[in-house]
A and B are shown apart, each in its own frame.
Chain A
Amino acid sequence: MPDGAYNYAYLDEQTKRMIRRAILKAVAVPGYQVPFGGREMPLPYGWGTGGIQVTAAIIGQDDTLKVIDQGADDTTNAVSIRRFFARVADVATTTRTEEATVIQTRHRVPETPLKDGQILVFQVPIPEPLRMLEPRETETRTLHALTEYGVMQVSLYESIARHGRIAKTYNYPVLVNGRYMMSPSPIPKFDNPKLDNNPALQLYGAGREKRIYAVPPYTSVKSLDFEDHPFEIETWTECCALCDSKESFLDEMIVDDAGKRMFVCSDTDYCQERQQQHRPEKT
Chain B
Amino acid sequence: MTALAAGFDDSSHDSQRVFRAVLDAFSHPGRILAIPAKVEAPGALSIAATAFLLTLVDRETPLWLAPDLDSAEVRDFVRFHTGAPIAPVTAAAAFALITPARQPMLDGFAIGSDPYPDRSATLVIEVPALRGGPNRTLRGPGIDGSIIAGIAGLADSFWSEWAANRALFPCGVDVVFAAGSELLALPRSIAVQC
Contacts and interface: CB of A to CB of B under 8 A. Distances in A.
Contact of A60 (B13, B58, B144): B13
Interface stretch (A24-32, A163-171, A187-195): A24-32
Interface in B1-53: 11-13, 15-17, 19-20, 22-24, 26-28
B26 A32 contact: no
Q: With a 10 A CB-CB cut-off, give which of A13, A28, A141, A217 has the most chain B CB atoms.
A: A28
B169 A179 contact: yes
B170 A216 contact: no
A58 B169 contact: no
Contact of A20 (B12, B56, B94, B115): B56
Contacts of B187: 27-28
Task: Please classify how large the interface on chain B is, using the bins under 10, 10 to 19, 20 to 34, 35 or more.
Answer: 35 or more
B27 A29 contact: no
B118 A29 contact: yes
Interface in A98-150: 117, 141-142, 144-146
B142 A216 contact: yes
A14 B189 CA distance: 28
Contacts of B58: 14, 17
Contacts, number: 107
A59 B24 CA distance: 13
Given A29-B118, A61-B13, A179-B170, A216 B27 contact: yes
Interface in B50-68: 55-56, 58, 60-61
B99 interface: no
Contacts of B15: 13, 16-17
B188 A218 contact: no
A214 B26 CA distance: 11
B114 interface: yes
B170 A29 contact: yes
Contacts of B28: 216-217
Nearest to A33: B118
B133 interface: no
A8 interface: yes
Contact of A219 (B13, B61, B142): B142
B126 interface: no
Nearest to B26: A27
Nearest to B118: A25
A218 B28 CA distance: 9
B188 A28 contact: yes
A13 B54 CA distance: 11
Nearest to B95: A21
A21 B118 CA distance: 10
A184 to B, nearest CB: 16
A18 interface: yes
B27 A217 contact: yes
Contact of A21 (B16, B56, B114): B56
Interface string B108-146: 000001111110101000000000000000000111110
15 contacts: A24-B23, A25-B118, A28-B187, A35-B118, A58-B23, A60-B13, A60-B16, A61-B13, A141-B115, A180-B170, A216-B26, A216-B141, A217-B28, A217-B144, A219-B142
Please give me the 7 A-B residue pairs with the lowest Cβ-Cβ distance, nearest first.
A145-B114, A28-B187, A216-B142, A25-B118, A219-B141, A60-B16, A216-B141
Interface of A: 7-9, 13-14, 16-18, 20-30, 32, 34-35, 57-62, 117, 141-142, 144-146, 177, 179-180, 199, 201, 214-219
Given A60-B17, A142-B115, 16 more contacts: A16-B15, A17-B58, A21-B94, A24-B26, A24-B122, A27-B187, A28-B188, A29-B117, A29-B188, A58-B23, A60-B13, A62-B17, A179-B170, A199-B144, A214-B27, A219-B142
Interface of B: 11-13, 15-17, 19-20, 22-24, 26-28, 55-56, 58, 60-61, 94, 113-118, 120, 122, 141-145, 169-170, 174, 187-189
